Amino acid sequence: MTKFKFSPGIHALSLAAIVSGMAAVVALSLLLNPQARAQDAIVPDEEAGAEVYSSVCKGCHGVSIAPTLRGILKRPIASIQSFGGYSAGLKAKQGETWTEANLNAFLTSPTEFAPGTLMTQTIPEAQRRADVIAYLASLPPPRE
């Protein structure tokens, strides 16, 4: 039987090379998939979302210019009977439901999500979108 002898310096260098290589693979995967990196870092904050709502959304959705956002999650798109100002873009989506993914897409680019929509306000920052969606999810159903 042959016995191998390793010097501590060589063994430490081999281990350091392995660890360094693994770190490089992780770093490369994050560089190649920045969306996953951004999504992993996002933790929705309902309180911050309330602030976004107050500063960005409430001006229209808190009055009769736009439909109420109370109870929007899991609600059919363009379905508030008391609001008569839905755009053709949102009426075309009436067979769909407001999900977190749909709200995220709409708040990222309303005109891409629903061409012809009257909504022009965007929330380009993923964290702020997640925050406001968390806040909207906490709201009770609309009063009708």
- Predicted model pTM: 0.72
Q: How far is CA 84 from CA 17, 19, 44, in A?
A: 66, 61, 32
Q: Is 78 exposed, middle or buried (0-12, 13-18, 19+ CB in 10 A)?
A: buried
∠ CA 93-117-91 to the nearest 5 degrees? 30
- Give CA–CA dist 111/113, Å, rounded: 5
* pLDDT band at residue 12 under the 50/70/90 scheme: very low
- Give CA–CA dist 123/52, Å, rounded: 9
* Structure tokens belonging to residue 65: 């210019």
Dihedrals φ, ψ of 79, to 5°?
-120, 0
Length of the chain: 144
Higher pLDDT, 116 or 21: 116
* pLDDT band at residue 140 under the 50/70/90 scheme: very high
pLDDT of residue 41: 85
CATH of domain 46-138: 1.10.760.10
